[in-house]
Each structure stands twice: as C-alpha cells, then as structure tokens.
Amino acid sequence: MGKYRQQVLKAARALIIEKGLFEFSMRDLSKATGLSVGSLYREVRNKDDLLLLGAAENIRRHGLGLNQVKTLGLNSAEQILFQIGFAPYCIDFVDMDSDNMGTNFLLSNCDLVSRATPKTVAELQAYFLQYRQQVVDLVDGLIHEQAFSNGKAQIMEVIADLSILCRGTRVLRVMRTNIMFRPNLVPTEKLCQLGELVLRQLDWNIDGPLLDPKKMDLAWKTAMDQSNMLSMSLKQRASS
C-alpha cells in the first residue's frame, strides 16, 4: 500500500463494522475514502488483502503499546494476560514452532482470504512473529525475575491455553458467510476470572488473586492511547 494506506484502512474498518467484509464493494470503499476506484486498486488488490493488511496494521500499532508493559504497574500474571488478552485478531500461540504461527487462524477459515497476495501474507506474518517475540522476551524476563517456579515449556503451554481463552473474547468475529467486527462481549472482570483459572496452572510468587480487572482495563486503555499517539507522531514526522 502507498500513501493512502491509513485512509483506506480507516474507511474499511468503518464499513466492516457497519456491514461486514463481504457486504460492501470496492466502490463503497472508493466513495468512503474519496479515492477513485482506479486509485483504490493501486492501494489494495482485493478485500482479502484489505482484511490481512488491516490485521497487520493493528498488530503493528498494538505492539507499540505493548512495549510499555513494564511501566504500567502490573504484577507478573497481569503482564502475561496484558500481552495475550490485548492481542488483536486471535494471535495463535498454540503452535509456537510453526512457520505459519499467527496467520493460521485467518488463513484457514473457510478460505476467506484465499485471494490474498503473498506479499500481504508475508507482511502479516512478519508482524505476528514480532509480536510472538515480545511475548517470549516477557516470559524470559519473568523467569529471570523468578516470578514463577515452572519451566519455560510449561509456561508456554499455559500461554497457549490463555490464547485460546482470549480468542473467544476479541473483536473479530469470523463466520462462514461474513466477517464482522463486534465490541468485546466478555467483560474484563469475567475474562480475569477465567484467565485466573488458566494461569493457576503455574506456581506464582504472588499472594492473593493473580488478576485485577480494573488494573487490566486501565493498562489496555493506556497501551492503546500510547500506540495511537506514537502512530500519529510517526505519521506526522513522515509527512513533514
């Protein structure tokens, strides 16, 4: 995508929220962006690419906020949920050794993105791998801090379980006939209750409850605000 990337993705997200991915046309997107159909197709080849590029952009932006995890006053268990629960588009830690880790969920769902170009798939994959490294680095740091007494293999198995739990609470809804964005239907308090059950498989050096819903809500909001501000700053710098 070129210089209109952010403009196109913003308009596409609004249309997906309103209608779902399959219920708007590229002409609708052209009208929403103010670009000609020809200019739009020079920006994005098809709606499959559009979905994956939107996912890649969100992962990139969210990653900027996730870099702030150590400054948010979270305990070690909350830091894990912060990383996994904030993951957009169901980042998949179930198969940590797969070269396609992270893209499998979107790419294997009913061939919904079968027309996506290799370049777009590669961009999405690169951001997923970068995000996975953030989680691995966090785990390594917590092990060094002796936050728990378990081995790394067991910790990553629990993170895989946590990613499955969080997959059902995120904003992307994939159906056989359409793809739509919907608000998170699971309150943070409920997510923390379920997350606590998963995380209790590990031996934490924490007294009392592992997760505080109010702290989690504030941390996710802070991370989102920080990533939005940094993205705006980088965009302004690039245009100056």
Q: List C-alpha distances in Å: 79 to 7, 44, 104, 121, 155.
A: 33, 36, 25, 29, 13
Query: How far, in Å, CA of 26 to CA of 114, rounded?
Result: 18
Could you list the residue range(s) of the whole structural domain that residue 15 is in? 1-44
The reported pLDDT for the residue numbered 175 is: 43
Residues 35, 154, single domain; the answer is: no
Residues 182, 224, single domain; the answer is: yes
- The tally of domains found in the chain comes to 2
Residues 86, 159, single domain; the answer is: yes
Residues 20, 72, single domain; the answer is: no
The reported pLDDT for the residue numbered 155 is: 94
| Residue 140 covered by a domain | yes
pLDDT tens over the chain, length 240 residues: 567 888 898 898 888 778 877 788 888 999 999 999 888 888 888 888 887 887 787 777 777 767 777 788 899 999 999 888 765 544 555 555 555 555 565 566 545 567 788 888 888 888 888 888 888 899 999 999 999 999 999 999 898 888 878 776 554 444 444 555 555 557 889 889 999 999 999 999 999 999 999 999 888 888 777 656 655 555 555 555
Residues 90, 111, single domain; the answer is: yes
